[in-house]
Structure 1
Amino acid sequence: MSSTKETQALLGDEAVALGAIHAGLSAAYGYPGTPSTEILEYLIEKSSGGGFKAAWCTNEKTAMEAALGTSFAGRRAMVTMKHVGLNVAADPFINGALLGISGGLVIAVADDPGMHSSQNEQDSRFYASFAGIPCLEPRNQQEAYTMTRDAFEVSEKFHVPVLLRLTTRLSHARAAVSSSAQANQKPVSKSKDKTRWMLLPAYARRNYASLIEKQSNFFAWSEDYAANKLEMDDPNQDLAFAVITSGLGGNYYEENLEDLIAHRGGKIPARLHIGAYPFPVGKIRKLCEKAKELLIIEEGQPFIEERLRGLLPNAIPVSGKLDPWDRGGAGVVNRTGELDPDNVRISLGLDPKPSVLTGADGSPAVKLPPLPGRPPQLCQGCPHGDSYETIKKVVAELDPAEDHPTVAIASDIGCYSLGASPPYSVPESIVCMGASIGMARGASEAGIKYAAAVIGDSTFLHSGITGLIDAVSVDAPMTVIILDNSIVAMTGCQETIVPSARLKDLILGCGVKVEHLVELEAKKQFLDENAIKLKAEFEHPGLSVVIFRRECLEAFRKRQKKGKE
């Protein structure tokens, strides 16, 4: 791919793909779905000799997780899908907003207004708003190229994923696109702050608070972003009638502008085009200061309109959770955490209740000390502890450096997540059910030498199988470590959907080579022996699966108790 400036006739999808390549893309993953398919098809075609990877995945969720792994390694990644595919990827997508994105991560989603080949007309802008991340909406092929490049910069500036919203007419129409010099790919630079990549409740609460704090920065960025263009400086401007357009709505408005001006006696309506979200609140307010009538033209669902139309007949001040974002206030209602009688009374303007019990005379009767913190931990004698001791020993041998830059250990949701805390401190990422395998794949393909996924047996059955199939399809140089305690331990020792005895056959059925499927007994006396076998699989230049087996102690006790009854 040439890095010199040139003009080509490209589909909107192809313009996105070219923008990603020129932004220094390292890896792209996706699942085919009209009208997004051509993005990854173009990238796959250009990846041969292009210095980046592009591949289809089992589904959109595993694609998102592989891209998160690439970002964790400090390199730029793109995920592609159609709008309903974002439903499948919602778990890692929403959680991804809370991570410490280091390599830029762009999610290109193509919506299908009119349902040309889809089962609904859902609008992906709602997902971006729900996740609390920036969204870019190009209106033509040139903007599709430019905004894709911008999206990577915005992602790395704010350390969040960025959604790029396309629609059918833009994705599948062709126009001239002028491209600029290609950026260099970023080197591997694994994230050093593990707490930004592990969504254990304590970390997740902090990371969510950080995301909320970023919202004011997103609004400031949106206010200044060039695609959010306010037009109301012409002396012939009709300020009483204002128009807001977005995406392709801007094109359709401009196609009728000449006739509209004639119809309105030579007056040009004041207008704001929105190409980036969250809303440029200041420009909207300036536009509407003198307007008596506002028309909103947007492709897809009434995302802008329902936020501006309102339900109240009169313009009255409205306070609540949004105050810190667009009014510069301190927040009338808490945006993070739960509501309770104490913080609600503050919102109502009432004085806080006293924090100590008082006697009849009003003097303090009993002083209540703060409760000590009690972080959760693995049960004494838990088999996962012995498994983590083995993994920790192998990692130290493979890479003695303090932060193990050549090793990446992705983990998952389950009681084994507690291995992220001392004394083990092994997992470096915890995102959502099944994400560990996709992330390990992405990290390995981004250049991490020793990438591993640690996943429980029930989580593997829940949503790890598809990620394993992805890894099998490319023989990814990574190790999947399944901690099999024969039960769904974290939620109360329910039976797994497939018993442990059948796990080996299931994994072999997915295509894992029998010589690289290793079963180990998770016991302290076998630590050195297990470490030798595990290390060999880490060093294998392809896919391997290691199963650590030992029954959960709580499940054993319940089984014993049930046998006595």
Structure 2
Amino acid sequence: MKKLLLGDEAIAQGALDAGLSGVYAYPGTPSTEITEYIQNSPLAESRNVHRRWLVNEKTAMEEALGMSFMGKRAMVCMKHVGLNVCADPFVNSAMTGTNGGLVVLVADDPSMHSSQDEQDSRFYGKFAMIPMFEPSNQQEAYDMMADAFDFSEKVHLPVLMRVTTRMAHSRAVVETVDVPREENKLNYNARAKDWVLLPAFARKRNAFVTGQQAMLEQEAADSIYNKYIDAPNHSLGVIASGIAFNYLNECYPDGCPYPVLKISRYPLPKELVRRMTAACDAVLVAEEGQPFIEEAVRGIMPGDAMIKGRLTGELPRTGELNPDLMRRALGLPCMEGFAPCEDVVPRPPALCNGCGHRDVYAALNEVLEEYPDARVFGDIGCYTLGFLPPYNAIHSCVDMGASITMAKGAADAGQWPAVAVIGDSTFTHSGMTGLLDAINEQADITVIISDNLTTAMTGGQDSAGTNKFEAICRGLGVDEEHLKVVVPLPKNMAEIKETIRREIEYHGLSVIIPRRECMQTLKRHLKQQKK
């Protein structure tokens, strides 16, 4: 069967056809569409595959480990910075090993289209000593899912599958199987001495995993996804990983005149690298993200081949690759393109018309005119756009949940007033623990949980704490007198401003929850009601 699929959709279909029993994820571009595809899949519904959004990536990783423990196949999906959130269970999952197949799907974002950094997840895979897959096209993304689950069960290790934005969000025709694989049966083969990471057991498991590395490397060298393609002209060789191999093929539609080493599976197959560096005068390393392969090649190469790539300037040090950059690095003329239109005026992103965050910032700014030294600590979400004109309302945005903890740290330093602005989904993702710290020390901060009843920035997915925030705050210990709920509408502006002013003047921990539904999800709900 042939289907036109996004890379994300090919991954999702591949996982379902490989006998997936559960997907565990927190929405994050460019990985979101994987879980959404599974949520809308008739096969997933008929099999009751787990497919609900979770609080954050750490809980997702741990729940997927629980499913693997019971012998079933599970997938964890996240964007690259989400891997930081689940680093503890991710790294330790190599020590526990797997029972049912476990694939950790991470979507990196070179050029930072919707992210804080260009983090390359392959470094995490190497650090954790687990095998990695990196597809070069949508068909490989589909095929690799079955192979990754099989390999995870064969070597009893999780598999990290890494894609990048362009792979995740571009489409191609994919050939799928006609009959999906059945789910694994529940089994009790997981051995407690491997899964209980007491030092006495973990030391033995660590020695075992370390001892597996030579085998994993040989498996990568023998894999159908890693190919050494020889050619007559050895003045140059090209090592191309992931989608960079696609770009290379676009540069040479009739075949590359130089030897090519395609890398789509790790650990890096050193024997194939040495073959190329010994045979070629120079080697160009083309990879999406950071110079992960390029740095490794310099440490394992024999002979005097000149290594070229991101570190030497043939390819840019930052940003995603494209065929034109590849052509330039190969000494080929760039393809003619369209000149930029001078009539198109750049449009920076802005909060939607009617968005409740607009009313929150308008009220906050007006109140803070009375406090010239005020500092507002922002967070990750649509409301981060409050930094831009016309609001210019926040002074920081670092990572998920940092608004509350940074406001507390600033208050510890003597700052007053210190205000934290955090969204509903971000609060349940990473804000609750920081709020507990602030409560325990009665930090002199005002926390605004701007609740639009959804995870709006990534498309309106369910928010884990919807209709629970007052109960969560009370349970953590927020004083009832300083837990306020307001409705952010222009007609309520006087009430909102008075609430903010009163809570700033209270020298202790206070929480204000402005609540109004996101305009985008409201439009969808109204359309559904008309049907």
Task: Tell me which interval the TM-score lies in, with the shorter structure as reference length.
Answer: 0.5 to 0.7
Give distance in 1, aligned partners of 2:77 and 2:189. Answer: 24
Q: Deviations over 1:444-476 (max 9, x none)?
A: xxxxxxxxxxxxxxxxxxxxxx9xx89xxxxxx
What percent identity do the matched residue pairs reach? 47
Distance 1:100 1:498, change over 3 A: farther
Distance 1:310 1:283, change over 3 A: closer
Give distance in 1, aligned partners of 2:149 and 2:255. Answer: 38
Query: Which residue of 2 is the match for residue 125 of structure 1?
Result: 122
* Alpha-carbon contact 2:238-2:259 (below 8 Å) kept: yes
Within 5 Å, give how 1:434-513 maps onto structure 2: 509-510=471-472
Give distance in 1, aligned partners of 2:64 and 2:139. Answer: 25
Query: Which residue of 1 is the match for residue 284 of structure 2?
Result: 295
Q: Deviations over 1:101-120 (max 9, x none)?
A: 11000001000111111110
Give distance in 1, aligned partners of 2:255 and 2:101. Answer: 42
Query: Which residue of 1 is the match for residue 181 of structure 2?
Result: 183
Give distance in 2, aligned partners of 1:202 and 1:134. Answer: 25
Runs of 4+ in 1 over 3 A off after TM superposition: 258-261, 310-316, 496-499, 506-513
Query: Which residue of 2 is the match for residue 20 of structure 1?
Result: 15
Q: Deviations over 1:330-383 (max 9, x none)?
A: xxxxxxxxxxxxxxxxxxxxxxxxxxxxxxxxxxxxxxxxxxxxxxxxxxxxxx
Are 2:113 and 1:116 equivalent residues in the alignment?
yes
Are 2:137 and 1:170 equivalent residues in the alignment?
no
Distance 1:278 1:508, change over 3 A: same
* Alpha-carbon contact 2:20-2:183 (below 8 Å) kept: yes
Task: Report the 3-state secondary structure (helix = DSSP H, G, I; strand = E; otherwise coil) of the residue aligned with 1:300.
Answer: coil
Distance 1:291 1:11, change over 3 A: same
Query: Which residue of 1 is the match for residue 271 of structure 2?
Result: 282
Distance 1:313 1:106, change over 3 A: closer
Query: Which residue of 2 is the match for residue 306 of structure 1?
Result: 295
The Cα shift of 1:53 comes to 1.2
Unaligned runs of 5+ in 2: 306-424, 430-438, 443-467, 476-531
Distance 1:201 1:273, change over 3 A: same
2:262 aligned to 244, 254, 273, which one? 273
Distance 1:197 1:512, change over 3 A: farther
Q: Deviations over 1:409-463 (max 9, x none)?
A: xxxxxxxxxxxxxxxxxxxxxxxxxxxxxxxxxxxxxxxxxxxxxxxxxxxxxxx
Query: Which residue of 1 is the match for residue 148 of structure 2?
Result: 151
Distance 1:251 1:193, change over 3 A: same
Are 2:19 and 1:30 equivalent residues in the alignment?
no
Letter in 2 for 1:292: D
* Alpha-carbon contact 2:68-2:98 (below 8 Å) kept: yes
Distance 1:512 1:203, change over 3 A: farther
Give distance in 1, aligned partners of 2:246 and 2:86. Answer: 31
Give distance in 2, aligned partners of 1:208 and 1:124. Answer: 21
2:101 aligned to 99, 104, 118, which one? 104
Task: Report the 3-state secondary structure (helix = DSSP H, G, I; strand = E; otherwise coil) of the residue aligned with 2:149.
Answer: helix
* Alpha-carbon contact 2:167-2:243 (below 8 Å) kept: yes
Task: Report the 3-state secondary structure (helix = DSSP H, G, I; strand = E; otherwise coil) of the residue aligned with 1:65.
Answer: helix
Are 2:236 and 1:241 equivalent residues in the alignment?
yes
TM-score by length of 1: 0.53
Give distance in 1, aligned partners of 2:254 and 2:156. Answer: 45
Give distance in 1, aligned partners of 2:71 and 2:253. Answer: 49
Higher relative contact order (CA 8 A, sep 6+): 1
Distance 1:284 1:313, change over 3 A: closer
Query: Which residue of 1 is the match for residue 369 of structure 2?
Result: none
The Cα shift of 1:272 comes to 0.4
The Cα shift of 1:191 comes to 3.5
Give distance in 2, aligned partners of 1:195 and 1:73. Answer: 15
Within 5 Å, give how 1:199-218 maps onto structure 2: 199-218=197-216
Q: Which protein has the larger Cα radius of gyration, Structure 1 or Structure 2?
A: 1
* Alpha-carbon contact 2:68-2:102 (below 8 Å) kept: yes
Give distance in 2, aligned partners of 1:192 and 1:276. Answer: 27
Q: Deviations over 1:108-135 (max 9, x none)?
A: 1000111111110111111111100000
Are 2:158 and 1:161 equivalent residues in the alignment?
yes
Letter in 1 for 2:279: K
Within 5 Å, give how 1:220-369 maps onto structure 2: 220-232=218-230, 234=231, 237-258=232-253, 268-310=257-299
RMSD: 3.1
The Cα shift of 1:283 comes to 1.3
Distance 1:508 1:66, change over 3 A: farther
The Cα shift of 1:259 comes to 8.6
Q: Deviations over 1:501-533 (max 9, x none)?
A: xxxxx99945999xxxxxxxxxxxxxxxxxxxx
Q: Deviations over 1:247-291 (max 9, x none)?
A: 111011111115996xxxxxx101100000001111111122221
Distance 1:170 1:99, change over 3 A: same
Query: Which residue of 1 is the match for residue 393 of structure 2?
Result: none
